[in-house]
Copies of this chain bind each other. A is one copy, B any other.
Amino acid sequence: MTKTVVIFSGGMDSTVLLADVIEQGDEVLALSVDYGQRHKKELEYAAATCQHFGVTHEVADLSGISRLLGGSSQTDPDIPVPHGHYAADTMKQTVVPNRNMIMLSVATGWAISQKADRVAYAAHAGDHTIYPDCRESFAQALDRAIQLCDWHELELWRPYVGITKADIVTVGVGLGVPFGQTWSCYEGGDIHCGACGTCVERREAFVDAGVEDPTEYRETPEFAEP
């Protein structure tokens, strides 16, 4: 049986991936990362979803290094979360320096110690050009490093890299994913704010997929209207 470590934030994309890997019959281990993110709330959603699916869940506590990764609205309480589309220049404030490599390297370390066959993560075609570490060239170089970091060759599996977030919604509907139990909002408030980059993107994905959005949003600014 294939043993797979899924990098699992508790958001839409990684929840669909988790359901997908379970459906394929893999032995699944889910890893969330606490990097001192403002929207720590996603970790509660992640835990609840893993309980729902009955899979092993661990949280990698990296909160001790968040002060070294300054300059992002996601780890610095003094920098507000920008509102608007991801395409806007202000969204650069949400970049956490080298976040993807840090998360993947820790997940890979855990995968090696668990003798897993692959590490899966939900990078997708819509991942944004404001994030340098969402570039395909970066991902390919890191894939190669991950293959070589242990004697036993590990696969880095990115099954959604060629599809959009709306496509992921469609895949999730087919798998019966409880989207109401996923968390996206960067604000991390009681309910989704509806106005930050990740909320706007979430709304658009449901609209583009033609699927009813179960999310309760605090506001619907003009730029976020369907």
Using a CB–CB distance below 8 Å, which chain A residues touch chain B? 31, 34, 58, 60-65, 68-71, 96-102, 104-106, 108-110, 112-113, 132-133, 135, 137-138, 141-142, 144-151
Contacts and interface: CB of A to CB of B under 8 A. Distances in A.
B148 A106 contact: no
A113 B70 contact: yes
A96 to B, nearest CB: 8
Contacts of A71: 113
Nearest to A108: B98
Contact of A68 (B99, B110, B142, B151): B110
Given A133-B148, A144-B144, 13 more contacts: A60-B65, A64-B64, A68-B106, A68-B109, A97-B112, A98-B105, A101-B145, A101-B146, A102-B102, A105-B105, A133-B150, A141-B141, A141-B148
Contacts of A113: 68-71, 97
A104 B146 CA distance: 13
